[in-house]
Structure 1
Protein backbone atom coordinates (compact mmCIF):
# COMPACT_ATOMS: atom_id res chain seq x y z
CA UNK A 1 0.00 0.00 0.00
CA UNK A 2 1.30 3.43 -0.92
CA UNK A 3 0.75 5.56 2.19
CA UNK A 4 0.68 9.35 2.37
CA UNK A 5 4.11 9.32 4.06
CA UNK A 6 5.60 7.28 1.22
CA UNK A 7 4.04 9.57 -1.39
CA UNK A 8 5.39 12.66 0.38
CA UNK A 9 8.83 11.04 0.54
CA UNK A 10 8.76 10.24 -3.20
CA UNK A 11 7.59 13.72 -4.19
CA UNK A 12 10.12 15.40 -1.88
CA UNK A 13 12.94 13.32 -3.40
CA UNK A 14 11.76 14.02 -6.97
CA UNK A 15 11.84 17.74 -6.18
CA UNK A 16 15.40 17.38 -4.85
CA UNK A 17 14.48 18.56 -1.35
CA UNK A 18 15.87 17.37 1.95
CA UNK A 19 13.62 16.84 4.95
CA UNK A 20 15.07 20.01 6.47
CA UNK A 21 14.26 22.03 3.35
CA UNK A 22 10.70 20.65 3.27
CA UNK A 23 10.30 21.49 6.95
CA UNK A 24 11.52 25.04 6.33
CA UNK A 25 9.34 25.56 3.24
CA UNK A 26 6.22 24.17 4.89
CA UNK A 27 6.94 25.79 8.29
CA UNK A 28 6.48 22.40 9.98
CA UNK A 29 8.76 20.91 12.60
CA UNK A 30 11.48 18.65 11.13
CA UNK A 31 10.58 15.85 13.56
CA UNK A 32 6.97 15.97 12.31
CA UNK A 33 8.16 15.57 8.70
CA UNK A 34 10.32 12.62 9.77
CA UNK A 35 7.39 10.96 11.57
CA UNK A 36 5.13 11.44 8.56
CA UNK A 37 7.66 9.96 6.13
CA UNK A 38 8.30 7.03 8.50
CA UNK A 39 4.53 6.43 8.61
CA UNK A 40 4.42 7.08 12.36
CA UNK A 41 1.95 9.94 11.83
CA UNK A 42 -0.50 10.76 9.07
CA UNK A 43 -0.85 14.45 8.21
CA UNK A 44 -4.32 15.93 8.18
CA UNK A 45 -5.89 19.32 7.73
CA UNK A 46 -3.54 22.28 7.94
CA UNK A 47 -0.38 20.13 8.18
CA UNK A 48 -1.24 18.34 4.94
CA UNK A 49 -2.11 21.67 3.27
CA UNK A 50 1.23 23.21 4.32
CA UNK A 51 3.17 20.22 2.98
CA UNK A 52 1.20 20.26 -0.27
CA UNK A 53 1.84 24.00 -0.70
CA UNK A 54 5.56 23.47 -0.14
CA UNK A 55 5.65 20.59 -2.65
CA UNK A 56 3.38 22.52 -5.07
CA UNK A 57 0.76 19.79 -5.33
CA UNK A 58 -2.95 19.60 -4.59
CA UNK A 59 -3.97 17.94 -1.31
CA UNK A 60 -6.49 15.91 -3.32
CA UNK A 61 -3.49 14.01 -4.72
CA UNK A 62 -3.47 12.01 -1.49
CA UNK A 63 -7.12 11.06 -1.52
CA UNK A 64 -7.79 7.92 -3.49
CA UNK A 65 -11.43 8.76 -4.10
CA UNK A 66 -12.15 8.84 -7.80
CA UNK A 67 -14.60 11.52 -8.82
CA UNK A 68 -17.63 10.08 -10.54
CA UNK A 69 -18.11 11.05 -14.18
CA UNK A 70 -21.38 12.77 -14.83
CA UNK A 71 -23.10 14.99 -17.31
CA UNK A 72 -22.43 17.91 -14.95
CA UNK A 73 -18.71 17.66 -15.64
CA UNK A 74 -19.30 18.20 -19.38
CA UNK A 75 -21.59 21.16 -18.71
CA UNK A 76 -19.14 22.59 -16.21
CA UNK A 77 -16.30 22.16 -18.70
CA UNK A 78 -18.25 24.04 -21.39
CA UNK A 79 -19.25 26.86 -19.03
CA UNK A 80 -15.70 27.18 -17.66
CA UNK A 81 -14.29 27.23 -21.19
CA UNK A 82 -16.76 29.90 -22.34
CA UNK A 83 -16.00 32.00 -19.25
CA UNK A 84 -12.24 31.77 -19.83
CA UNK A 85 -12.63 32.76 -23.48
CA UNK A 86 -14.77 35.78 -22.54
CA UNK A 87 -12.35 36.75 -19.76
CA UNK A 88 -9.39 36.56 -22.15
CA UNK A 89 -11.25 38.67 -24.72
CA UNK A 90 -12.07 41.26 -22.05
CA UNK A 91 -8.48 41.46 -20.83
CA UNK A 92 -7.17 41.75 -24.40
CA UNK A 93 -9.70 44.47 -25.17
CA UNK A 94 -8.80 46.54 -22.13
CA UNK A 95 -5.07 46.52 -22.87
CA UNK A 96 -5.64 47.02 -26.60
CA UNK A 97 -8.01 49.93 -26.06
CA UNK A 98 -5.68 51.71 -23.67
CA UNK A 99 -2.65 51.40 -25.95
CA UNK A 100 -3.78 51.17 -29.58
CA UNK A 101 -6.81 53.48 -29.64
CA UNK A 102 -6.34 56.63 -31.72
CA UNK A 103 -7.07 58.75 -28.64
CA UNK A 104 -4.55 56.88 -26.47
CA UNK A 105 -2.11 59.18 -24.75
CA UNK A 106 0.71 58.69 -22.26
CA UNK A 107 -1.75 58.52 -19.35
CA UNK A 108 -3.76 55.69 -20.89
CA UNK A 109 -0.57 53.82 -21.75
CA UNK A 110 0.67 54.14 -18.17
CA UNK A 111 -2.77 52.93 -17.05
CA UNK A 112 -2.45 49.96 -19.39
CA UNK A 113 0.95 49.12 -17.94
CA UNK A 114 -0.42 49.32 -14.39
CA UNK A 115 -3.42 47.18 -15.30
CA UNK A 116 -1.17 44.67 -17.04
CA UNK A 117 0.46 44.15 -13.64
CA UNK A 118 -2.47 44.41 -11.23
CA UNK A 119 -5.09 42.35 -13.07
CA UNK A 120 -2.78 39.31 -13.47
CA UNK A 121 -1.46 39.84 -9.93
CA UNK A 122 -4.97 39.54 -8.48
CA UNK A 123 -5.63 36.50 -10.67
CA UNK A 124 -2.48 34.93 -9.18
CA UNK A 125 -3.60 35.89 -5.68
CA UNK A 126 -6.84 33.95 -6.11
CA UNK A 127 -5.27 30.98 -7.93
CA UNK A 128 -2.09 30.41 -5.90
CA UNK A 129 -2.50 26.63 -5.84
CA UNK A 130 -2.74 26.50 -9.62
CA UNK A 131 0.31 25.46 -11.60
CA UNK A 132 1.96 28.59 -13.15
CA UNK A 133 1.89 27.17 -16.67
CA UNK A 134 -1.78 26.23 -16.34
CA UNK A 135 -2.58 29.71 -14.99
CA UNK A 136 -0.70 31.38 -17.82
CA UNK A 137 -2.50 29.25 -20.42
CA UNK A 138 -5.95 29.75 -18.88
CA UNK A 139 -5.76 33.46 -18.15
CA UNK A 140 -2.97 34.60 -20.46
CA UNK A 141 -3.79 32.78 -23.68
CA UNK A 142 -5.64 35.86 -24.90
CA UNK A 143 -2.49 37.92 -24.43
CA UNK A 144 -0.44 35.35 -26.32
CA UNK A 145 -2.99 35.24 -29.15
CA UNK A 146 -3.03 39.05 -29.24
CA UNK A 147 0.76 39.16 -29.68
CA UNK A 148 0.56 36.67 -32.56
CA UNK A 149 -2.34 38.53 -34.22
CA UNK A 150 -0.47 41.83 -34.01
CA UNK A 151 2.63 40.27 -35.54
CA UNK A 152 0.59 38.81 -38.40
CA UNK A 153 -1.55 41.92 -38.98
CA UNK A 154 1.29 44.43 -38.80
CA UNK A 155 4.16 42.32 -40.07
CA UNK A 156 7.30 41.80 -38.03
CA UNK A 157 9.02 45.11 -38.76
CA UNK A 158 5.90 47.29 -38.57
CA UNK A 159 4.68 45.31 -35.55
CA UNK A 160 7.87 46.09 -33.65
CA UNK A 161 7.58 49.79 -34.53
CA UNK A 162 3.96 49.90 -33.38
CA UNK A 163 4.87 48.06 -30.18
CA UNK A 164 7.62 50.55 -29.37
CA UNK A 165 5.34 53.50 -30.07
CA UNK A 166 2.31 52.17 -28.18
CA UNK A 167 3.89 49.88 -25.59
CA UNK A 168 1.37 47.10 -26.27
CA UNK A 169 3.90 44.27 -26.44
CA UNK A 170 5.44 45.46 -23.21
CA UNK A 171 2.02 45.34 -21.53
CA UNK A 172 1.14 41.94 -22.96
CA UNK A 173 4.47 40.34 -22.13
CA UNK A 174 4.37 41.95 -18.68
CA UNK A 175 0.91 40.42 -18.08
CA UNK A 176 1.99 36.94 -19.14
CA UNK A 177 5.11 37.22 -16.98
CA UNK A 178 3.10 38.22 -13.91
CA UNK A 179 0.70 35.32 -14.50
CA UNK A 180 3.61 32.88 -14.64
CA UNK A 181 5.92 34.31 -11.94
CA UNK A 182 3.26 35.91 -9.73
CA UNK A 183 3.46 33.32 -6.95
CA UNK A 184 7.19 33.99 -6.61
CA UNK A 185 6.42 37.70 -6.43
CA UNK A 186 3.86 37.10 -3.68
CA UNK A 187 6.41 35.10 -1.68
CA UNK A 188 8.91 37.98 -2.02
CA UNK A 189 6.33 40.47 -0.75
CA UNK A 190 5.49 38.35 2.30
Structure 2
Protein backbone atom coordinates (compact mmCIF):
# COMPACT_ATOMS: atom_id res chain seq x y z
CA UNK A 1 0.00 0.00 0.00
CA UNK A 2 1.36 3.41 -0.96
CA UNK A 3 1.70 6.05 1.72
CA UNK A 4 0.90 9.70 1.14
CA UNK A 5 4.62 10.55 1.01
CA UNK A 6 5.25 7.91 -1.65
CA UNK A 7 2.31 9.15 -3.71
CA UNK A 8 3.54 12.74 -3.49
CA UNK A 9 7.04 11.61 -4.52
CA UNK A 10 5.70 9.63 -7.52
CA UNK A 11 3.42 12.47 -8.63
CA UNK A 12 6.20 15.06 -8.28
CA UNK A 13 8.57 12.88 -10.37
CA UNK A 14 5.93 12.29 -13.03
CA UNK A 15 5.46 16.07 -13.31
CA UNK A 16 9.24 16.50 -13.68
CA UNK A 17 9.59 18.65 -10.57
CA UNK A 18 12.40 18.69 -8.03
CA UNK A 19 11.71 18.94 -4.32
CA UNK A 20 12.90 22.54 -4.40
CA UNK A 21 10.50 23.41 -7.22
CA UNK A 22 7.61 21.75 -5.42
CA UNK A 23 8.46 23.62 -2.23
CA UNK A 24 8.54 26.91 -4.13
CA UNK A 25 5.27 26.23 -6.01
CA UNK A 26 3.39 25.01 -2.96
CA UNK A 27 4.88 27.55 -0.54
CA UNK A 28 5.75 24.67 1.81
CA UNK A 29 9.15 24.45 3.47
CA UNK A 30 11.65 22.26 1.58
CA UNK A 31 12.49 20.28 4.72
CA UNK A 32 8.76 19.57 5.21
CA UNK A 33 8.53 18.21 1.65
CA UNK A 34 11.58 16.02 2.29
CA UNK A 35 10.12 14.65 5.54
CA UNK A 36 6.79 13.92 3.89
CA UNK A 37 8.37 12.11 0.95
CA UNK A 38 10.61 10.09 3.30
CA UNK A 39 7.50 9.15 5.31
CA UNK A 40 8.90 10.83 8.41
CA UNK A 41 5.87 13.14 8.69
CA UNK A 42 2.21 12.76 7.82
CA UNK A 43 1.04 16.01 6.19
CA UNK A 44 -1.94 17.84 7.66
CA UNK A 45 -4.92 19.20 5.75
CA UNK A 46 -3.57 22.63 4.77
CA UNK A 47 -0.17 21.21 3.75
CA UNK A 48 -1.83 18.52 1.62
CA UNK A 49 -4.01 21.16 -0.03
CA UNK A 50 -0.99 23.35 -0.85
CA UNK A 51 0.98 20.42 -2.28
CA UNK A 52 -2.03 19.14 -4.24
CA UNK A 53 -2.61 22.59 -5.74
CA UNK A 54 1.04 22.78 -6.79
CA UNK A 55 0.90 19.26 -8.30
CA UNK A 56 -2.51 19.99 -9.87
CA UNK A 57 -4.22 16.98 -8.29
CA UNK A 58 -7.31 16.64 -6.13
CA UNK A 59 -6.65 16.23 -2.41
CA UNK A 60 -9.21 13.41 -2.25
CA UNK A 61 -6.60 11.32 -4.06
CA UNK A 62 -4.96 10.86 -0.64
CA UNK A 63 -7.99 10.82 1.64
CA UNK A 64 -10.25 8.50 -0.37
CA UNK A 65 -8.04 5.50 0.46
CA UNK A 66 -8.27 6.17 4.20
CA UNK A 67 -12.04 6.58 4.01
CA UNK A 68 -12.32 3.37 1.98
CA UNK A 69 -10.27 1.51 4.61
CA UNK A 70 -12.56 2.81 7.36
CA UNK A 71 -15.60 1.75 5.34
CA UNK A 72 -14.11 -1.73 4.87
CA UNK A 73 -13.40 -2.09 8.58
CA UNK A 74 -16.97 -1.12 9.47
CA UNK A 75 -18.42 -3.58 6.95
CA UNK A 76 -16.15 -6.39 8.15
CA UNK A 77 -17.19 -5.62 11.75
CA UNK A 78 -20.86 -5.90 10.77
CA UNK A 79 -20.27 -9.16 8.88
CA UNK A 80 -18.34 -10.62 11.82
CA UNK A 81 -21.05 -9.55 14.27
CA UNK A 82 -23.83 -11.11 12.16
CA UNK A 83 -21.80 -14.31 11.77
CA UNK A 84 -21.17 -14.55 15.52
CA UNK A 85 -24.84 -13.96 16.31
CA UNK A 86 -25.91 -16.64 13.84
CA UNK A 87 -23.26 -19.05 15.17
CA UNK A 88 -24.42 -18.48 18.75
CA UNK A 89 -28.05 -19.03 17.73
CA UNK A 90 -27.11 -22.24 15.93
CA UNK A 91 -25.16 -23.58 18.91
CA UNK A 92 -28.01 -22.68 21.28
CA UNK A 93 -30.55 -24.34 19.01
CA UNK A 94 -28.60 -27.58 18.72
CA UNK A 95 -28.12 -27.99 22.46
CA UNK A 96 -31.68 -26.85 23.21
CA UNK A 97 -33.21 -29.21 20.65
CA UNK A 98 -31.26 -32.19 21.92
CA UNK A 99 -32.20 -31.59 25.56
CA UNK A 100 -35.54 -29.74 25.71
CA UNK A 101 -37.39 -31.40 22.84
CA UNK A 102 -40.41 -33.44 23.94
CA UNK A 103 -38.99 -36.47 22.12
CA UNK A 104 -35.54 -36.08 23.69
CA UNK A 105 -34.35 -39.35 25.16
CA UNK A 106 -31.18 -40.38 26.93
CA UNK A 107 -29.34 -40.81 23.62
CA UNK A 108 -30.04 -37.26 22.45
CA UNK A 109 -29.07 -35.89 25.86
CA UNK A 110 -25.76 -37.77 25.76
CA UNK A 111 -25.25 -36.43 22.23
CA UNK A 112 -25.94 -32.92 23.53
CA UNK A 113 -23.41 -33.45 26.31
CA UNK A 114 -20.75 -34.62 23.84
CA UNK A 115 -21.45 -31.75 21.46
CA UNK A 116 -21.32 -29.33 24.39
CA UNK A 117 -17.73 -30.38 24.92
CA UNK A 118 -16.42 -31.02 21.41
CA UNK A 119 -17.85 -28.00 19.55
CA UNK A 120 -16.31 -25.51 22.02
CA UNK A 121 -13.09 -27.55 22.04
CA UNK A 122 -12.81 -27.15 18.26
CA UNK A 123 -13.52 -23.44 18.64
CA UNK A 124 -10.65 -23.26 21.14
CA UNK A 125 -8.35 -25.13 18.74
CA UNK A 126 -9.10 -22.68 15.94
CA UNK A 127 -8.84 -19.57 18.11
CA UNK A 128 -5.56 -20.22 19.91
CA UNK A 129 -4.43 -16.60 19.94
CA UNK A 130 -7.70 -15.34 21.37
CA UNK A 131 -7.99 -14.35 25.01
CA UNK A 132 -10.24 -16.81 26.96
CA UNK A 133 -12.61 -14.05 28.05
CA UNK A 134 -12.86 -12.71 24.49
CA UNK A 135 -13.55 -16.25 23.22
CA UNK A 136 -16.21 -16.72 25.88
CA UNK A 137 -17.91 -13.44 24.98
CA UNK A 138 -17.80 -14.12 21.22
CA UNK A 139 -18.74 -17.78 21.14
CA UNK A 140 -20.37 -18.35 24.53
CA UNK A 141 -22.72 -15.40 24.73
CA UNK A 142 -25.46 -17.53 23.17
CA UNK A 143 -25.10 -20.11 25.93
CA UNK A 144 -25.26 -17.42 28.61
CA UNK A 145 -28.30 -15.89 26.90
CA UNK A 146 -29.98 -19.30 26.77
CA UNK A 147 -29.70 -19.70 30.54
CA UNK A 148 -31.21 -16.26 31.09
CA UNK A 149 -33.98 -16.83 28.52
CA UNK A 150 -34.95 -20.16 30.05
CA UNK A 151 -35.27 -18.56 33.47
CA UNK A 152 -37.27 -15.62 32.07
CA UNK A 153 -39.64 -17.77 29.99
CA UNK A 154 -40.17 -20.55 32.51
CA UNK A 155 -39.83 -18.49 35.66
CA UNK A 156 -36.98 -18.74 38.14
CA UNK A 157 -38.05 -21.93 39.92
CA UNK A 158 -39.50 -23.81 36.93
CA UNK A 159 -36.66 -22.72 34.63
CA UNK A 160 -34.08 -23.91 37.10
CA UNK A 161 -35.81 -27.27 37.59
CA UNK A 162 -36.33 -27.76 33.83
CA UNK A 163 -32.69 -26.92 33.09
CA UNK A 164 -31.45 -29.38 35.72
CA UNK A 165 -33.93 -32.18 34.83
CA UNK A 166 -33.23 -32.10 31.09
CA UNK A 167 -29.47 -31.68 31.45
CA UNK A 168 -29.54 -28.36 29.59
CA UNK A 169 -27.68 -26.49 32.33
CA UNK A 170 -25.03 -29.19 32.48
CA UNK A 171 -24.51 -28.88 28.72
CA UNK A 172 -24.40 -25.08 28.80
CA UNK A 173 -22.00 -24.96 31.74
CA UNK A 174 -19.77 -27.57 30.06
CA UNK A 175 -19.72 -25.46 26.87
CA UNK A 176 -18.93 -22.25 28.72
CA UNK A 177 -16.22 -23.96 30.78
CA UNK A 178 -14.64 -25.52 27.70
CA UNK A 179 -14.57 -22.19 25.89
CA UNK A 180 -12.92 -20.47 28.84
CA UNK A 181 -10.58 -23.21 30.06
CA UNK A 182 -9.97 -24.87 26.68
CA UNK A 183 -6.26 -24.01 26.52
CA UNK A 184 -5.69 -25.54 29.95
CA UNK A 185 -7.56 -28.68 28.86
CA UNK A 186 -5.46 -28.83 25.72
CA UNK A 187 -2.26 -28.66 27.78
CA UNK A 188 -3.52 -31.47 30.02
CA UNK A 189 -4.21 -33.66 26.98
CA UNK A 190 -0.65 -33.33 25.68
Shorter chain as denominator, the TM-score bin is: 0.5 to 0.7
Instruction: Tell me how large the CA RMSD over aligned residues is.
Output: 0.9
Corresponding residue number in structure 1 for 2:104? 104
Between the aligned partners of 1:71 and 1:157, the Cα distance in structure 2 is: 48
Give matches, 1:31-110, under 5 Å. Answer: 69-110=69-110
CA distance in 2, matches of 1:136, 1:109: 23
Q: How high is the TM-score relative to the length of structure 2? A: 0.63
Residue 132 of structure 1: aligned partner: 132
Offset, 1:70? 2.1
CA distance in 2, matches of 1:94, 1:73: 31
Q: Deviations over 1:13-37 (max 9, x none)?
A: xxxxxxxxxxxxxxxxxxxxxxxxx
Q: CA deviation at 1:164?
A: 2.0
Structure 1 residue 119 and structure 2 residue 119: aligned? yes
Cα distance in 1 for residues equivalent to 2:156 and 2:105: 24
Per-residue deviation, 1:163: 1.5
Take 1:118 and 1:98, find their aligned partners in 2: how far apart are those partners?
Answer: 15
**Residue 165 of structure 1, CA deviation:** 1.5
Q: TM-score, with normalisation over the residues of structure 1?
A: 0.63
In the alignment, the residues of structure 1 paired with residue 137 and residue 131 of structure 2 have an alpha-carbon distance, to the nearest angstrom, of 10
In structure 2, distance between residues paired with 1:153 and 1:109? 21
Unmatched tracts of structure 2, length 5 or more: 1-65
- 1:182 matched to 2:182? The reply is yes
Instruction: Return 5+ residue gaps in structure 1 as ranges.
Output: 1-67
Question: Once the 2 structures are TM-superposed, how far is the Cα of residue 140 of structure 1 from its aligned partner?
Answer: 0.3
1:105-138: CA deviation from partner (whole Å, max 9, x where unpaired): 0000000000000000000000011000000000
